[in-house]
Amino acid sequence: MASTWLITGATSGFGRLVTERALATGAHVIAVGRRRDRLAELVEQAPAGQVTTVELDLTAPDAQAVLADTVRAAGGLDVLVNNAGYGLFGSVEQISAEEARAIIDTNVLANLTVLRATLPALRASQGRVLQTSSLIGQFAWPSSGLYAASKGAVELISEALAHELTPTGVKVTIIEPGTFGTEFATNLQVVLPNDVYAPTVGKFLNDFSALPPEAFGDPNAVADAIMTVSTLEEPPLRLAVGADAVENIRASLRSRLAELDRWESLSLTPARQAA
């Protein structure tokens, strides 16, 4: 029997590539996105009846009900690729309350909306949850504070969820892509730094914009990794994809361990220090 997938952000980037691969396996895909023209393209390109499109803003008040109804109509769900989101770069101080609220609404709260709508069906099928994060869900660069915070929230929510779902048979994996050549880089929102943050935020943004094309990996590698993980009997909780993701996450973890070791004595309680 063909599996059923629900993929958010299905009209571009990693979501589109995974959608195409899932369809190629014969899966029924519930493709969720906001662009009607691109959803129509998916229907045109897929075998008849293999795609159910949902044109939806995941921050809308009725999003959970719409998704839950769609999953019920499909007869269940085997794999969730919780992929929708966008990037926001700028100094922590200069990002407005409205901009901060918007990225948390989309990258975190909408992610939770999708989970609430799909987890009952995923428990019934002992299915898979694939949460798209980023290498900077593990650490932050100058300018990435709010975006990294949104992805860090997804990481910890997903870690807790994995523990909570252990008895049900549902597996959770967090995908942490590095820098890849998708529409993300061209569509992200940027708050340009003032003079105070020009040496840090400004330098980082300038250096990033000057990266050559070969610095951006082939996004097909991420889609392939997602497809592979979706079939593993014991998938990892976290999967860094791309050499830059592995290198930078490893460096961050080593730095944090070194700092923990360096300041361990200061972390001791007064009673232990007196002893």
Domain boundaries, the chain: 4-266
Please name the residues in contact with 15: beta carbons below 8 A apart, sequence gap of 6 or more: 7, 8, 9, 33, 81, 83, 84
What pLDDT was estimated at residue 104? 98
| Mean pLDDT of the 25-49 span | 95
Of the candidates 5, 89, 147, 180, the residue annotated as catalytic is 147
Crossing angle of the two packed helices 145-165 and 97-104, in degrees rounded to 10: 30
1: pLDDT strictly greater than 80? no
Neighbours of 168 (CB within 10 A): 13
| Mean pLDDT of the 201-211 span | 94
List, in sequence order, every residue forming a beta bridge with 32; answer none if it has no partner.
8, 54
pLDDT-derived band at 97 (thresholds 50, 70, 90) equals very high
Burial 101-111 (b: 16+ CB within 10 A, else e): ebbbebbbebb
46: pLDDT strictly greater than 60? yes
99: pLDDT strictly greater than 90? yes
How far, in Å, CA of 16 to CA of 3, rounded? Answer: 18
- Report how far apart the first and last C-alpha atoms of the chain are (Å, whole number): 65
Tens digits of per-residue pLDDT, 215-270? 899 999 999 999 999 999 999 999 999 999 999 999 999 999 999 999 999 988 66
Q: Which phi and psi (to 5°) does residue 112 adopt?
A: -65, -35
Mean pLDDT for the chain?
95
- Residue 86 annotated in active site: no
Contact present, 168 and 119 (Cβ < 8 Å): no
Q: What is each CA distance from 102 to 61, 97, 112, 152, 190, in whole angstroms?
A: 14, 8, 15, 16, 14
Tens digits of per-residue pLDDT, 157-185? 999 999 999 999 999 999 999 999 877 76
73: pLDDT strictly greater than 50? yes
pLDDT-derived band at 275 (thresholds 50, 70, 90) equals very low
138: pLDDT strictly greater than 70? yes
What pLDDT was estimated at residue 268? 82
What pLDDT was estimated at residue 56? 97
| Mean pLDDT of the 178-201 span | 90
Per cent of the chain over pLDDT 90 is 90
How far, in Å, CA of 239 to CA of 40, rounded? Answer: 32
106: pLDDT strictly greater than 50? yes
186: pLDDT strictly greater than 80? no
Architecture of domain 4-266: 3-Layer(aba) Sandwich (3.40)
- Three-state DSSP class for residue 249: helix
pLDDT-derived band at 102 (thresholds 50, 70, 90) equals very high
